[in-house]
Structure 1
Amino acid sequence: MINSIDIYSKLEFKEEIPKYIQIANFIKNLIEKKKIKDGQKLPTIRELSVFLNVNSITIVNAYKKLKSEGYAYQKVGSGSYAKVKEISFLFRKEYSNSLKKLLIDDLPDIVDFTGETNTEVLFPIDDLKETINKVLDRDGVNALISNNTYGYKNLISTINKNFWDSKLNEEDMIIISGAQQGIDIVSKGILNINDNIIVEKPTYGGALSVFKWRKANIFEVPVENDGVNLERFEKILQKNKIRCFYTMSYFQNPTGISYSLEKKKRILELAEIYDFYIIEDDYLSELVYEDTISYIPFKWLDKNARVIYIKSFSKIFLPGIRLGYLVAPELFRESLQNSKFNTDITTSSLMQRALELYIYENKWKENIRYLNLEYSKRYKVMKDILDNEFKDLVTYIDPKGGLNFYLTIKDDKITSKDLFIKLKKKGVYITPGIMFFTSSNDGQNTFRIGFYQTDIEKIKKGLDILREELI
């Protein structure tokens, strides 16, 4: 362990970059290279300012930058300490880069259990061509002109009529470019620095990134078979002023669980008692393979304007076409509209009109029936193999819908990160559990596999290779 301040003598300042940034980056590099250990105390502000011959304010700003980026933390009355981000932060980069580096020519030979490569599209392209041609014939150049920042009015009305029995106030609806943008818009619109937010543990990594970027304080509540642990949930509410609760109510990512009606009702009651709002991310509720699951989202039950509902069409329309919508309480209408405008001004007018016509002509329902038929076959094949060939290797909660299984490794001798690296060499890609937690200590023995981009042949091939590595 490096205890001497002499290590900072290697820092050479450059004129064009502010000194506090150079100091922060230098310390960050030492932490990443393990020359400064996790939890090691950093020099005092006075000590380092004297040693580097800089103003103490420069060191204060450098430490603030390190803390904001997650490379340091402060103990009141004790000083600043290094925080290692290598496991979670650096591995996220490695995971993302591994998928980005895949060439188109490589895709037919790999087994993508992550669902992130778009190697196949289960969508009737001819239907889309026909729909777009109809839109262009009907609307002409207007189809290409974006004249409403918050969405094509006919699409909003069609969504309201077909999916909500015309019960929503259409002024509260905004068309967005997918769920990720929706989470970002909501976060910018209603969260301030140091606001408290509760998330499921584990949860969608993209949401965690947004909340961290907003510098919110994140509280995690463990997920059970039918939703979060309510006892743990309420204890956090009792001790902290919570602004929001982010949840995926159906086929939660990554666990695949769906909320029971009782837990939804209780959480809505708690939202009113403790004055917080629910961000409901609904991205796969159409894909139900067993009739034990009924569709009643938080938003349907919301009587006190506590739910901000986000819906994505990306997985069930076309993956390359980012479309969705959000519904906000009137209280947040203006702030979320402003947030949307400041994010991207508008969403593709042509694709909004095409989606509207697709829904209006009932082709949407036909496609959902087709997707349910195809994905249910893959779900059953994957489930049968897991039940028969992996029962001594992993455990899981049966999702009964959606696109993923979340597996827990029984043998503690291998981590999901190591498993990812080994499988990647054999052309099989999984998503390690570490991607779904705020702490690098969690998710070490869990991983997610999906059948969104894997047909039955690839499912069998990939699971066979996976089994070999787990034995």
Structure 2
Amino acid sequence: MNKYIFKFNEKDEKPKYIQLSEYIISLIENKKIGEGEKLPPIRKYAKELGVNNDTIVAAYKKLVLLGYAYQKMGSGTYCKRRGKTKNFKSDYSRIIKDRLNNKDKKVYIDFVGEGFNNEYFPVEKFKKCINEVIDRDGINALTSYDTTGYSGLRSNISKVFWNGEVKEEDILILSGAQQGIDVIAKVLLNPGDKVVVEKPTYGGALYAFTSRRSSILEIDMESDGGNLVELEKILKGNKIKAMYLMSYFQNPTGVSYSKEKKEKLLELAEKYDFYIIEDDYLSELIYDKKEYITIKKLDVYDRVIYIKSFSKIFAPGIRLGYMILPKGIKDSVESSKISTDVLTSSLMQRTLDNYISKGYWIGYIEELRNHYKDMYYMMINLLEENLSKYIKFHKPNGGLVIYCEILDSRISSRKLFNYCLNKEILITPAVLFYNNYRIGDKYFRLSFSSVKEDEMKKGIICLREAFEELYEELGVY
């Protein structure tokens, strides 16, 4: 028990339980306590240190709150070594899943979810479209398929979303955007090939590229898109196959590329011979009057692989998206997609085609945009009123997330996450989006897609209270 002996500083303004918890954390981080090692029994430890049992209880609760320990009912408190992103990612996924499934019987305010509020999904209209398709096509709605996608849907995508500028035969229907990224990685990348991504970026893309054993190079995000000065330096010293980016309201930062940067990117792609994988994340949700245009629409070099998901903006369960391909890789990508997933749901494709044909899509998007525009401005106002002392944040003028930077370097996003969890609110620490967790620990993401107005107000106040407690612990008032 010698390593646990601790002498309290009576002159320190910090409560004894905080002094003790910080000491045990130092033992954990310096590997003087092993993973899963049982901490001293409360009564015995209190007697050893000359304090009451409540001090030990409070210290252990603090360790659990900060993710450095866990408790077994009737057994005691055990060490859990933290600090690595990989461990936190797995813990985070488990925690979010458990909390959203209500396993601890508490109701959490969800600033994590990226899905849409179910209240706005047009169930009756969609059901009508399904029934009409089954009445019209019969068993063919379930059994007939085209390996590149239902012709009617591809034709509608061309007409409604691209004004006929993209040919139907250049459109490939997908089972969601992630499948598109996976297929492109499979076609373009061999082990050791280099791909550029934004820093931070979407974890699903990182996984697709690393699974191909590719070398990932990163460029920082700026207020108008990726840092192209950094990109050109990389291009001058490396042969890259592709660059993956989100042109609108990038996840997690919410940043959109300026038209100037889009044009410059295309010039660089042509000059240095690489493809741009454009993941059009949420271009439908634009809240200001600024002109937005996809990189694909500016592409005169045939360098852009455009990927779009219907699942994100419409309904996750339909698992539909599409890809527009450059001619140079069109056949290879189509063949790879077929070998990966022979058939994307024929019924869902035909139903979505019918839904778009009836004009329902445009009306739905307009209603959705108006709702989330109101939620966006409410979130901005609440953050400015309650948290300007603690954070600064980017105003994306669209999308569903606000990316926040913690002003005090002593407070990590992982620590904030645990404090918020204790107040029954869920946030996303940005360590999940970085290879280097130390950079990501400065940031966190708030999504307003799944909360209601009263929940948002309550949640932001709770977030402020979490910061107040953290500042008090640091002795900052």
* Same fold per superposition (TM over 0.5): yes
The aligned residue for residue 452 of structure 2 is 455
- The answer on 1:310 being equivalent to 2:304 is no
**Residue matched to 1:44:** none
Question: 373, 377, 397: which one pairs with 1:376?
Answer: 373
Cα distance change, pair 247–135 in 1 and its aligned pair in 2 (3 A): same
Q: In structure 2, what is the Cα distance between the partners aligned to 1:34 and 1:207?
A: 34
AA in 2 matched with 1:283: Y
Q: Secondary structure at the match of 1:268?
A: helix
Confirm or deny: 8 A CA contact 1:272 1:304 kept in the other structure: yes
Which position in structure 1 is the counterpart of 2:13? none
- Following superposition, the deviation at residue 231 of structure 1 comes to 1.1
Alignment of 1:252-267 (within 5 A): 252-267=250-265
Identity, in percent, stands at 47
**RMSD of aligned alpha carbons:** 2.2
2:421 and 2:213 mapped to 1: Cα distance?
Answer: 33
Shift in alpha-carbon separation, 1:85–1:159, aligned structure 2, 3 A? farther
CA distance in structure 2 between the aligned counterparts of 1:108 and 1:254, rounded to whole angstroms: 27
CA separation of 1:278 and 1:108: change in aligned 2, threshold 3 A: farther
Match of residue 397, structure 1, among 373, 376, 394: 394
Partner of 1:212: 210
Give the superposition deviation at 1:174. 1.0
2:174 to 151, 172, 176: 176
1:386 aligns with 2:383: yes
Aligned residue number for residue 24 of structure 2: none
Equivalent of 1:321 in 318, 322, 344: 318
Residue pair 1:287, 1:402 contacting (<8 A) in 2 also: yes
1:186 to 176, 184, 188: 184
**Structure 1: stretches of 5+ with no match in the other structure:** 1-31, 38-83
Q: Within 1, Cα distance between the matches of 2:107 and 2:456?
A: 13
Which one of the candidate residues 233, 246, 249 is aligned to 2:247? 249
> What's the offset of the Cα at 1:117?
7.1
Give a deviation string over 1:236-266, Cα, whole Å, max 9, x none: 1111101101010000111101111000000
Q: How does 1:125-140 map to 2 (within 5 A)?
A: 125-140=123-138
Note if contact 1:99-1:117 (Cα within 8 Å) is conserved in structure 2.
Answer: no
Asked if structure 1 preserves the Cα contact closer than 8 Å seen for 2:99 and 2:106, the reply is no
Q: How far 1:149 sits from its partner (Å)?
A: 2.0
Residues 17-75 of structure 1 deviation map (CA, whole Å, 9 limit, x = unaligned): xxxxxxxxxxxxxxx9969x9xxxxxxxxxxxxxxxxxxxxxxxxxxxxxxxxxxxxxx
Q: Shift in Å at residue 426 of structure 1?
A: 2.4
1:238 to 236, 244, 248: 236
* Residue identity in the other structure for 2:151: K
3-state SS of the aligned residue for 2:185? Answer: helix
Figure out how many residues of one structure are paired with residues of the other and give that number.
393
Letter in 2 for 1:269: E
Cα deviation for residue 103 of structure 1 reads: 5.5
Taking the aligned partners of 1:307 and 1:270, their CA distance within structure 2 comes to 12
1:118–1:319: 8 Å Cα contact kept in structure 2?
no
Distance 1:338 1:151 in 2: 13
Question: Which residue of 439, 442, 446 corresponds with 1:442?
Answer: 439
Q: Structure 1 CA distance, aligned partners of 2:330 and 2:116?
A: 34
Greater C-alpha radius of gyration: 2
| Superposition deviation, residue 182 in structure 1 | 1.2
User: What CA deviation, in whole Å up to 9, does each residue of 1:439-467 have, x standing for no partner?
Assistant: 22221110100111111111111111111
Question: For residue 97 of structure 1, what is the aligned residue in structure 2?
Answer: 94
Q: After the TM superposition, which parts of structure 1 deviate over 4 Å for at least 4 consecutive aligned residues?
A: 32-35, 103-108, 116-119
Q: Distance in 2 between matches of 1:416 and 1:108?
A: 22
**Structure 2 unaligned blocks of 5 or more:** 1-28, 35-80, 469-477
- Structure-1 separation of matches of 2:343 and 2:30: 43
Q: CA deviation at 1:139?
A: 0.9
Inter-CA distance 242–34: structure 2 relative to 1 (3 Å threshold): farther
Q: How far apart are 1:146 and its partner, in Å?
A: 4.1
Q: Which amino acid aligns with 1:131?
A: C
| Corresponding letter in the other structure for 2:444 | F
1:47-446 equivalences under 5 Å are 87-102=84-99, 104=101, 109-116=107-114, 120-292=118-290, 294-446=291-443
Name the CA shift for 1:117/1:356 in 2 (closer, same or farther; >3 Å): closer
- Once the two structures are TM-superposed, the CA of residue 416 in structure 1 deviates from its matched residue by 0.5
- Distance in 2 between residues matched to 1:429 and 1:85, nearest whole Å: 19
State how far apart, in whole Å, the 1-side matches of 2:135 and 2:322 are.
26
Q: Deviations over 1:305-351 (max 9, x none)?
A: 10000001112211222111011111111221122112221111111
Alpha-carbon spacing, 1:219–1:244, altered in 2? closer, same or farther (3 Å): same
Q: Within 2, Cα distance between the matches of 1:309 and 1:232?
A: 23
